[in-house]
Amino acid sequence: MASIAHELAKKQKEISISEFFEKNKHILGFDSLTRALITAVKESVDNSLDACEDAGILPDIFVQVEKVANNEYRIVVEDNGPGIVKKQVPNVFGRLLYGSRFHVRAQRRGQQGIGVSAVVMYAQITTGRPAKIRSRISDEDVAYECEIILDTKKNRPQTMKEDFVIWEKPHGTRFEVNLRGKYVGGKQSIYEYLKGVAIVNPHARITFIQPNGGNVVFERSTEAMPPPTNEVRPHPEGVELGELLNMAKYTEAKKMTSFLNTEFSRISLRVAREILDAADVPHNQRPSRLNLNQAGDIIDAVKKVKIMAPETDCLSPIGEGLIRKSLKNVLGETKASFYAPPVTREPKVFGGNPFIVEIGIVYGGQLSREDPVQIYRFANRVPLMYQQGACATTQGIENVDWRRYGLEQRGGKGIPYGPAIILVHVASTKIPFTSESKEAVANVPEIREEIELALKACARKLKTHLNKAERKSKARVKFEIVQEIIPMIAQKSAKIVGKPVPDIAGTITKIMNVVWVDDEVTHNKKKTHRVSVKLYNYTPKNQKLQLHMVLPYEKVDEKSLTLEPSEVRDGTKVTWNMKKVAPTEVFELAFDMKGLDGGDYEENEVFVSGIDAASVIGADVLPGDWDLEHITITEEKAAPEEEADEGEIDYDEGAEVIENEE
């Protein structure tokens, strides 16, 4: 038996990381010809976008896919980034796990230094051809060009050819590679991937040359660069026991108080002392002497001590305004009838890593009513094309009861059906992917919970829109019938009795008995929005109420206002006192807004108070999170708010789950 053990020992040997991935290329997303082509484009485009953003340059990305032979394609990805210095070009493209972002706690697309090097490795495995890279930095007159392969035994690049060439670009990088693949259309295609990139990177312009010669351009919808992300220390909430012990072992701090203060974010010396007191750990103890029990007590104490939320400057969320604008810019062909106001949640933490969840919903238009909703999944501004069922995003969508929000859902679980697109974006300093191919977000409870809460918040806005549209439609039908039939009855009756046709406006108001609110927004090429809100009093008495709108008031041309507001709060919450609207009277509140692009403001958010909400069509009751403290109610006692339907909106401020759960 001993001789067998010695023989087995002789067979043990180390393998390089590149050898491992060469044998297991499916782990990196090269498990089929179709996916290999998309993965190659994805990794190359990610590199280009990161490079441009790091340099503060608006990205201009060129992508070309050309068929060379049967199942062989040439991929070219070119950017206008800062370029790469000559010495680093081979390492960046021909060495796995080589990069600058793995230890950085800040939002980045690439983190491990595997992506584009894996493309080079896959290309040489499948076609035997080297990758060609051209790069020029701004302070050099010529570009450096080389052809490289990856030595998988040593995980080192081999330069096959190099030269300096004339290139008209002042700076940038061009990556060209031949590989085996299969080009297809449909949902999982390069076109759909680039469309997704354009949605969550509205500052980028992307040109795509397809194998058939077709040219597609996704224009940027904003000239503003995302704010730069800053590196942060780990947040104490969610830090694992082993990680805490490891950090304590290698810290340069001499005391536990300074260790907690310097190695973690949001822990001041005062908070550090509170944590140590709660954990019964001496303040002056050396961190290297921290034992297992003490570490566990510290983690428990962190949950009890009030600690500020994590910093957000390490993250780069898209933002509610840009999500809506970008969806309209890229998905305009759907002619959707409603873009729900997107939701961006407050930052949360898992494993010491801050993250933010963003949601957008598109509804109606030419979207199919019979098929499942389309799901657009993104992580750190990168589309996720595969493994949808394994993703926390999808699981979060399936856990929501969409029947309460106007979509069909068979059995109350699963992906809903209806004319909708659901966008989910998770931004984090470290996305917990299920595999190295980075196609699905792991089912981390903290992330899934935030996704569900954000989905419900956005879905409530969709439900409010659908309810408003349905009520308005029913009331409009009733009103049209009344307006058509009552005058006919009056004319016939007057003719029979030989008397003049009476004024029937009062009769119509008694039958309708509603205050009708009609609002619209029109936009012209001079960047002027005309906002009109008309109130029709179809009730038999004078009405006194408050009209509230959410809008960027600094853009309002005050000279164009037909009624001065009674209050403006936080620069966006505007209130008008309607002191008297007589029966059958029509009052119009109108004004202009200047300096906004067409997609910046397309739908009004109109609310009312001081009136029975059940008698109002076309506006919602004022939410509870709108501070009424300084608003003068013109009625002696405001009527109660409209009673919510089952599962409908509960406007209590601060409530995160505001619907009735089964």
What pLDDT sits at residue 646?
35
Count CB atoms within 10 A of the CB of residue 257.
Answer: 23
**Tokens at 642, concatenated:** 């409209």
| Residue 245 pLDDT exceeds 70 | yes
Q: Let me know: does 77 contact 62? Beta carbons within 8 Å.
A: yes
Domain 17-218 shares a fold with domain 320-464: no
Could you tell me the residue ranges of all domains in the chain?
Answer: 17-218, 241-304, 320-464, 503-621
CATH architecture of 17-218: 2-Layer Sandwich (3.30)
- Nearest in space to 317 (alpha carbons), one of 378, 374, 375: 378
Task: Quote the pTM value.
Answer: 0.71
d(CA 639, CA 92): 67
Would you place residue 105 in the very low, low, confident or very high pLDDT band (cuts 50, 70, 90)?
low
Question: What are the tens digits of pLDDT across the range 358-404?
Answer: 999 999 888 888 899 999 999 888 899 888 888 999 999 999 999 98
Distances from the Cα of 360 to the Cαs of 72, 327, 341, in angstroms? 38, 8, 7
Res 634 pLDDT > 50 = no
Of 123, 49, 126, 54, the closest CA to residue 93 belongs to: 123
Q: How confident is the model at residue 62, as a pLDDT?
A: 96
pLDDT per residue as tens digits for the range 171-183: 999 999 999 889 8
Q: Locate 450 and state its tokens.
A: 């935030």
Give residue 598's pLDDT.
67
User: pLDDT band at 113, cuts 50/70/90?
Assistant: very low
Helical H runs in 498-646? 505-512
pLDDT digits (tens, 9 = 90+) for 159-218: 899 999 999 999 999 999 999 889 888 888 999 999 999 998 999 999 999 998 889 999
The four Cα atoms 402, 403, 408, 412 give a dihedral, to 10 degrees, of 80
Q: Which pLDDT tens digit goes with each residue over 135-165?
A: 999 989 999 999 998 887 777 888 899 999 9
Whether the Cβ atoms of residue 454 and residue 358 lie closer than 8 Å to each other: yes
Q: Is the pLDDT of residue 506 over 90?
A: no
Segment 81-93 shows an average pLDDT of 88
Flag the least confident range among 416-420, 519-523, 610-614.
610-614
Mean pLDDT across 559-581: 90
Q: Is the pLDDT of residue 67 over 50?
A: yes
Backbone angles phi, psi at 538, to 5 degrees: -100, 45
Asked if residue 439 lies in contact with residue 389, where contact means CB atoms within 8 angstroms, the answer is no
Question: Does pLDDT of 647 surpass 60?
Answer: no
Q: Which two tokens stand for residue 110?
A: 């690439």
What is 503-621's CATH number, 3.40.50.11260, 2.60.40.420, 2.60.40.1170, 3.40.50.300? 2.60.40.1170
Q: What was the pLDDT predicted at 348?
A: 87
> Using one digit for the tens of pLDDT, what is the confidence trace for 589-600?
999 999 887 667
> Which CATH number applies to 320-464: 2.60.40.3880, 3.30.230.10, 3.90.320.10, 1.10.287.110?
3.30.230.10
Q: Does 1.10.8.50 match the CATH number of domain 241-304?
A: yes
State the amino acid at position 607 in one-letter form: F
Q: How confident is the model at residue 653 (pLDDT cuts 50, 70, 90)?
A: very low
